[in-house]
Amino acid sequence: MTVYDGHTVEYSGTSCNPGGINPFHGPAMPGIMEDFYLESYKEHLANSDEIQKISGLDFNLKVVDRLFLAFNDDDEQGLKRMQKPYRQAQSFDARWLTSSEVAQLESRISHNCVGGLFTTGNLSVNTQLYVAALKKSAQRLGAQFVDKNVREIHFAGEKATHVVVENNKIPISSVAVTSGVWTAEILKPIKPALKVRAVKGELLLVEINGPPLPLDITYGLTGLYQFKPGLYWAGGTQSGSLPEPGITAAGREEILANLRRILPGITKIACIEHDAGYRPMAEDSLPVVGKITPYENIFIGTGGGSKGVLLSSGIAKTLAGLINGDSDTGLEFLSPDRFSDE
Ligand SMILES: Cc1cc2nc3c(=O)[nH]c(=O)nc-3n(C[C@H](O)[C@H](O)[C@H](O)COP(=O)(O)OP(=O)(O)OC[C@H]3O[C@@H](n4cnc5c(N)ncnc54)[C@H](O)[C@@H]3O)c2cc1C
């Protein structure tokens, strides 16, 4: 197996996220995505020891406690609905905290909060180290990595025969296109109906004053996620990639202003780093995973959106199965064929 990626594009999703592996919220949850989210979570857990062992890299996979805050009745009802799957799943739990219990847990949270859902069981990783560990493990198991982009895919009838890398035509037995928001561009000649838009997210790496937070604290899109001792990821935003690609002063201010509202007791937030990344999002916000009809050997794995770290394991396992001839994925609803080229 050869992986081509020139790393020439800016703002890949994987370069900018706090590494949350959270199976109980996201598009179509509750709903058709429930099983795939949970399977993806289990896949991370099942393979992590082996990946650490083969790669020799510790990517800091840990269980995180997280407090989801509510500031009004609607927030409270929404969070209480989220409680059920946490309660039903092994190794997870969720319990409702009243506003005074929230204040007792962390006095720097706004007194306007009406309560919060305290959850345990979600995972997080240091994404950059996780990617490095996956790459090193794959190399040790025989995969090759080439720091170059694929320009085109060539066909004979309904079969992909070559990829073009620089000016070289390289023969292939099958190809999986997993290039985030850039996937649709490569596949445009054969799958014009596939659209993958970039939903830009900005993220800060911050230091805060006072004692360390004992858990992740979030409200809607805004949150502080524990990263390293004394350092937190602070996110996030959601916007298009245009007219301003990359980081913006407005994005930074939006995150800081929201944090000041939910955690007014934190009086100093020092910004160490400011990043932006593109979440690959299909038109229906669901992942796109499967074979492209009528081609025999072209597969696609993208559209992870805001859940791409969680889903990476499930998407990878599904693609490996499909390439090896296992067509019964149970994920036909995620097939690229749902976007009609007619
Ligand atoms: C602020 C923020 C917070 C997030 N938080 C979380 C979270 O906590 N949990 C979670 O599950 N998800 C989260 N996400 C979403 C997640 O980061 C993305 O869904 C995921 O990283 C997308 O991965 P990907 O591999 O599909 O795409 P990308 O990471 O964008 O990778 C695409 C790759 O394709 C390569 N490429 C492009 N063109 C070519 C070509 N022609 N040939 C070869 N290679 C090419 C690029 O160089 C790039 O490396 C977050 C995203 C953002 C922005």
Q: Of 3.20.20.70, 3.40.50.2300, 3.50.50.60, 3.40.50.300, which CATH number belongs to 1-61+126-195+288-342?
A: 3.50.50.60
Share of the chain above pLDDT 90, in %: 98
Averaged pLDDT for residues 164-189 = 97
Reduced to 3 states, what is the DSSP secondary structure of residue 308? helix
Q: Assess whether pLDDT exceeds 80 at residue 53.
A: yes
What would the CATH number be for the domain defined by 198-282? 3.30.9.10
Rounded Cα distance between 219 and 70, Å, is 7
Distance 65 CA to ligand 1 centre (A): 25
Nearest one of 138, 180, 131, 168 to 54, comparing CA atoms? 138
Rounded Cα distance between 52 and 251, Å, is 35
**Max CA distance (Å), the chain:** 67
Distance 129 CA to ligand 1 centre (A): 15
Q: Assess whether pLDDT exceeds 90 at residue 184.
A: yes
Q: Assess whether pLDDT exceeds 80 at residue 27.
A: yes
Classify 63-124 by CATH class. alpha beta
Determine the pLDDT at residue 340: 87
Q: List the structure tokens of 55.
A: 């790669």
Reduced to 3 states, what is the DSSP secondary structure of residue 317? helix
Determine the pLDDT at residue 341: 79
Share of the chain above pLDDT 70, in %: 100
**282-335 pLDDT tens trace:** 999 999 999 999 999 999 999 999 999 999 999 999 999 999 999 889 999 999
- Residue 302 host element (H or E): strand 298-302
Strands 216-219 and 62-70: parallel
Q: Assess whether pLDDT exceeds 80 at residue 180.
A: yes
Determine the pLDDT at residue 327: 86
Rounded Cα distance between 190 and 98, Å, is 54
Reduced to 3 states, what is the DSSP secondary structure of residue 209? coil
Q: Which are the contacts of 30, defined by CB distance < 8 A and separation ≥ 6? A: 85
Count of CB atoms situated within 10 Å of the CB of 127: 21
Cβ–ligand 1 distance for 201 under 6 Å, the answer yes
- For residue 220, what pLDDT band results from cuts at 50, 70 and 90? very high
Could you identify the residue written with the tokens 């690959």?
A: 280
Distance 106 CA to ligand 1 centre (A): 33
Task: Specify the residue with its C-alpha closest to ligand 1, atom 4.
Answer: 17
Q: Assess whether pLDDT exceeds 80 at residue 342.
A: no
Query: Taking the domains of the chain in order of start, what are their residue ranges?
Result: 1-61+126-195+288-342, 63-124, 198-282
Determine the pLDDT at residue 236: 86
Cβ–ligand 1 distance for 187 under 6 Å, the answer no
Residues 98 and 115: beta-carbon distance below 8 Å: yes
Determine the pLDDT at residue 324: 95
Could you identify the residue written with the tokens 């202003």?
A: 257
Determine the pLDDT at residue 293: 94
Q: List the structure tokens of 217.
A: 């604290």
Cβ–ligand 1 distance for 235 under 6 Å, the answer yes
**97-134 pLDDT tens trace:** 999 999 999 999 999 999 999 999 999 999 999 999 99
Ordered DSSP codes for 238-300:
-EESSSS-S--HHHHHHHHHHHHHH-TT---EEEEEEEEEEEEEETTSS-EEEE-TT-SSEEE
Cβ–ligand 1 distance for 203 under 6 Å, the answer yes
Query: 63-124: same fold as 1-61+126-195+288-342?
Result: no
**230-262 pLDDT tens trace:** 999 999 899 999 999 999 999 999 999 999 999
Rounded Cα distance between 203 and 225, Å, is 11
Count of CB atoms situated within 10 Å of the CB of 303: 30
